[in-house]
Amino acid sequence: MRLVEDRDRRKRIVINIFVLLVAFICVAKRSSTLHQTSTFENLLIDSFAPLQNSVSTIRTNVANFFTHYVANISASKENREILKQVSDLESRIFDLNELEKENLRLKNLLEFGKGVGYKKVLAQVVAWDASSDFRVLRINKGLKDGVMLQAPVVTSVGLVGYIYRLTDHFADILTVLDNNNRVDGLIQRVRAHGIVEGYSSEKSLMKYVSRTEPIILGDVVITSGLGNIYPKGIRVGGVSKIERESYGITQYVEITPAVDFGLLEEVVILLAEGDEQKRREWEALDQMEESDDASAKLKRSKR
């Protein structure tokens, strides 16, 4: 009985050892097949691996493109909003700078001639006629603002001209650059008189100055107060050229106006205390003429 059991135990041990050997052999064969490929398989792998790599790369790039595209759209929208805000701020800064400059110019104009007994009317230049024969500025003030014909027009630096044409809301200035505007001038240093006339878009001439007057370059020319238009002492310009001929009794004197007409934006109209009375008298005369015209028409219609 004991002998039979020993035989059975040996058989089981042998069978178990055999099963284990078979399992190890199978595993060994399987692992060896995983690491070894045939020539055809190598050819397929070498052929398709670059294609697979390209497909993978394209897929990654496409995914990255759409990701960056969405991000760029959002960033572009934010950039447009920021640029608009920057543009609005720059526009506001520009407007504020212009307002500051305008306030400074107006302040200088208002401070000009405080001691002069003239009423001052501020006006802006709205048009410029610079033809060869006619040099005229148009301003945005007229009869309704109290402006009168032949009222002198100045800036804080010097003389502009005088009012020669007028409507209810606008007025035209004949500047010192026009040869129809004649200003009785005075050389401030030597007190020599002469008549200043315009002759170009940038220069004026001072005529009838005695040849013996010791005028030099840079001498300041001011209004003499003669002529019943310009008050005395307003700066006209400076002497920029002198020619003394060997004959004759006068000398050629060229004047550069004190006012830079190319940069002129605002002016001051000077109104004397008697101008208001003159304006009322002229309005009364105009009303009388209109009344006389109406009466004459009525008489003609009755006939």
pLDDT at 282 over 60: no
* pLDDT at 276 > cutoff 60: no
* Nearest CA among 223, 197, 218, 264 for reference residue 116: 223
pLDDT over threshold 80, residue 178: yes
pLDDT of 95 over the 90 cut: no
Q: Which among 133, 142, 213 has a CA at the least distance from the CA of 178?
A: 133
Is the pLDDT at 303 greater than 60, yes or no? Answer: no
Backbone angles phi, psi at 215, to 5 degrees: -80, 145
> Which of 112, 253, 99, 259 is closest to 176 using CA atoms?
259
> What is the per-residue pLDDT for 222?
92
Neighbours of 172 (CB within 10 A): 19
Confidence bin at 206 (pLDDT 50/70/90): very high
| Bigger pLDDT: 76 vs 279 | 76
Which among 181, 149, 178 has a CA at the least distance from the CA of 163? 149
pLDDT at residue 32, as a whole number: 45
Could you tell me what percent of the chain has a pLDDT over 70? 60
Identify the H or E element spanning 173.
strand 171-175
Distance between CA atoms of residues 74 and 296, nearest Å: 81
Amino acid at position 169, single letter: H
For residues 275 and 256, what is the distance between their CA atoms, to the nearest angstrom?
A: 31
This model's pTM is above 0.75: no
User: Which pLDDT score, from 0 to 100, does residue 31 have?
Assistant: 47
- Condensed to tens digits (0 to 9), the pLDDT of residues 111-164 reads 665 555 678 888 989 888 756 555 889 999 999 888 999 999 998 889 999 999
Measured CA to CA, the distance from residue 86 to residue 153 in angstroms comes to 41
Q: Looking at residue 29, what is its pLDDT?
A: 53
* Contact yes or no for 130/201 (Cβ under 8 A): yes
Q: Exposed/middle/buried for 23, CB within 10 Å: 0-12, 13-18, 19+?
A: exposed
Whether 105 contacts 265, CB under 8 Å: yes
Q: How far apart are CA 25 and CA 262, in angstroms?
A: 108
**DSSP string spanning 36-79?**
---HHHHHHHHHHHHHHHHHHHHHHHHHHHHHHHHHHHHHHHHH
**pLDDT above 60: residue 278:** no
- According to DSSP, residue 301 is labeled H
> What's the confidence (pLDDT) of residue 223?
92
Question: Are the beta carbons of 161 and 155 closer than 8 angstroms?
Answer: no
Average pLDDT over every residue of 229-247: 87
Which DSSP letter does residue 182 get? E
For range 75-102, the mean pLDDT: 72
Lowest-confidence pick of 67-76, 90-99, 281-290: 281-290
Give the residue, 294 or 149, on which the prediction is more confident: 149
Distance separating alpha carbons of residues 147 and 35, to the nearest angstrom: 109
Q: Alpha-carbon distance 33 to 251, whole Å?
A: 121
pLDDT of residue 242 exceeding 50, the answer is yes
pLDDT digits (tens, 9 = 90+) for 244-254: 776 778 888 99
> What's the gap between Cα 288 and its chain centre?
50
Calculate ∠ Cα 156-182-117, nearest 5°: 40
Mean pLDDT of the chain: 76
Place of tokens 């010097």: 158
Where residue 176 falls among pLDDT bands split at 50, 70, 90? Answer: very high
Question: For residue 214, is pLDDT > 60?
Answer: yes
Average pLDDT over residues 211-220: 91
Give me the pLDDT at residue 244, please. Answer: 79
* pLDDT at residue 34, rounded to an integer: 46
Percent of the chain with pLDDT over 90: 21
**14 has pLDDT over 80:** no
C-alpha radius of gyration, the chain, whole number:
50
Q: How far apart are CA 16 and CA 24, in angstroms?
A: 12
**Cβ atoms of residues 215 and 207 within 8 Å:** no
Q: Which pLDDT score, from 0 to 100, does residue 112 have?
A: 60
